[in-house]
Amino acid sequence: MDSNRAFRPDAHVDERRTSPRRICRVRAVVDVTGRPTLPAVTVDIGRDGMALLLPCPLPDGTPCRITFSIFSGGRVQRVELHAKAVKSVFVHADVRVGFAFTGVPPAANSLLAEFVSYGKR
């Protein structure tokens, strides 16, 4: 593996996201069936997925339920979404795990869209 991969000028070629993400740090909980819940901290959130810092990696494709709160619609709102793990990368003492949302309800999609686009014109 190329040790300078993260610094390549064409690093965007590896991008799999289909919508923009907003950087934020809030607590979250990841519930994987048959395992204890995992405490997490968000790295970024988008309409199609998010990245979390977890205490352990998750195999690609692992289905789970993620619960977190965001400020949207003028108040703090709890969001609970189904997702699947896409990629795990070790970062210092934590693991950064990318998730793709699956079956986002329209109300949650609206909340996420407002959250991601807040302050942009």
Q: What is the pLDDT of residues 58-97, one digit of tens each?
A: 999 999 999 999 988 789 999 999 999 999 999 988 999 9
Listed by start position, the domains of the chain span 19-113
Query: In sequence order, what are the residues at sequence separation of 6 or more whose Cβ sits closer than 8 angstroms to the Cβ of residue 106?
Result: none
pLDDT tens sequence across 47-65: 999 999 999 999 999 999 9
Placement of tokens 């959130």 in the chain: 45
Q: What is the DSSP string of 42-93?
A: EEEEESSEEEEEESS---TT-EEEEEEEEEETTEEEEEEEEEEEEEEEEETT
Architecture of domain 19-113 in CATH?
Beta Barrel (2.40)
Q: What is the pLDDT of residues 18-28, one digit of tens each?
A: 678 899 999 99
> What integer pLDDT is reported at residue 4 of this predicted model?
41
- How much is the pTM? 0.82
